[in-house]
Amino acid sequence: MKVYIDGQFYAERDAKISVFDHGLLYGDGIFEGIRAYNGRVFKLDEHIERLFCSAQALLLKIPLSRAAISRAVVETCRVNRVRDGYVRLVVTRGPGTLGLNPNRCKKASVIIIAGKIQLYPKSYYEHGLDIITVPTVRNLHSALNPAIKSLNYLNNILAKIEANNAGCEEAVMLNSEGFVAECTGDNLFILKGGRLITPPLYAGALYGITRATVMDLAREAGLPVEESNLTRYDLFNAEECFLTGTGAELVPVVKIDGRVIGSGRPGRITRRLVADYHALTQISGEPIYR
């Protein structure tokens, strides 16, 4: 594997950054997780746009234009002969002095890793996930806005640990008001009364690109889509539930906090959306090979 760092490709074992990089010292940086399907980078423009929005929120100057970063992502896929895979795009504050002041970091670093994706086991898609609500509350907007896809993921990692300790793969995270925000690395949807409902972004969710794609697919299929605050009660009484994310795509949920959701099996609408999403991934995206 060849890793892109600041304009050059390095062999895996030589792909290193400074121990003085504030990305490491303080989690001061941002990232995107992107998929390639069938020789194309899926939703590349959307990921680049979100990366620049995260950077803007952190006053982090990305040393490349949007077009140059897009080209670098595609080139990293090409160099690594990726057709179906996973791209991790990282921008760190760069090396600086000890002390958290970002002004002491001269230049941000851009890292691109393109490799294989570690997929959830197939059984999760066939039988659905059993998930729980965890005590760790999603970050407050006024503290660290969940819309920023930063290198500081401890809020999510703490929630993941709590889910793991309970024998679960994913965790529902509530916001400080008790409304559902999202899961540790996925957005959440329910189906109720023929409507697809997902928490609004102000509830404390990442502006998920899979979330937006699934909302478009649902509307195209004639399904009303709504962004409303949800409580755990709403989850327990949902007809169907699923999670969305670049890594997971759409994964059905069949149990939450011990309550069986709907029939206890992946729902009909969920399965339809899974199929529509999968079809879309095969035909759209930025071509890697021309």
Considering the rule CB under 6 A, would residue 85 count as an interface residue with ligand PXG?
no
Told to judge if 149 belongs to the known catalytic residues of this protein, a careful annotator would answer yes
Choice from 185, 199, 252, 262 touching ligand PXG (CB under 6 A) = 185
- Residue (105 or 251) nearer to ligand PXG, CB: 251
With a CB cutoff of 8 Å and minimum separation 6, the contacts of 101 are none
Q: Which stretch binds ligand PXG (CB under 6 A): 128-136, 245-253, 262-270, 275-283?
A: 245-253
Choice from 209, 217, 250, 261 touching ligand PXG (CB under 6 A) = 209
Considering the rule CB under 6 A, would residue 246 count as an interface residue with ligand PXG?
yes
- Residue (105 or 173) nearer to ligand PXG, CB: 173
- Residue (40 or 211) nearer to ligand PXG, CB: 211
Residues 124 and 128: their CA atoms lie apart, in Å, by 5
State the Rg of the chain over Cα: 19
Residues 24-53 that bind ligand PXG (CB under 6 A): 33
Residues 162-181 that bind ligand PXG (CB under 6 A): none
Q: Which stretch binds ligand PXG (CB under 6 A): 3-11, 203-211, 228-236, 262-270?
A: 203-211
Choice from 27, 102, 200, 247 touching ligand PXG (CB under 6 A) = 247
> Which of 288, 246, 290, 247 shows the shortest CA–CA distance to 72?
288
- Residue (21 or 170) nearer to ligand PXG, CB: 170
- Residue (22 or 35) nearer to ligand PXG, CB: 35
Catalytic residue among 107, 116, 122, 149, which? Answer: 149
Residues 26 and 11: their CA atoms lie apart, in Å, by 26
CB 101, min distance to ligand PXG, A:
27
- Residue (206 or 215) nearer to ligand PXG, CB: 206
Considering the rule CB under 6 A, would residue 80 count as an interface residue with ligand PXG?
no
Choice from 76, 92, 150, 210 touching ligand PXG (CB under 6 A) = 210
In three-state form (DSSP H/G/I as H, E/B as E, the rest C), the secondary structure along the chain is: CEEEECCEEEEHHHCCCCCCEHHHHHCCEEEEEEEEECCEECCHHHHHHHHHHHHHHCCCCCCCCHHHHHHHHHHHHHHCCCCCEEEEEEEECCECCCCCCHHHCCCCEEEEEEECCCCCCHHHHHHCEEEEECCCCCCCCCCCCCCCCECCCHHHHHHHHHHHHCCCCCEEEECCCCCEEEECCCEEEEEECCEEEECCHHHCCCCCHHHHHHHHHHHHCCCCEEECCCCHHHHHCCCEEEEEECCCEEEEEEEECCEECCCCCCCHHHHHHHHHHHHHHHHCCEECCC
Residues 186 and 160: their CA atoms lie apart, in Å, by 12
Site size toward ligand PXG, by CB under 6 A: 15
**x/- track of binding to ligand PXG for residues 113-152 (CB under 6 A):** ----------------------------------------
Could you list the active site residues?
149
Binding site for ligand PXG (CB under 6 A): 33, 156, 182, 185-187, 206, 208-211, 244-247
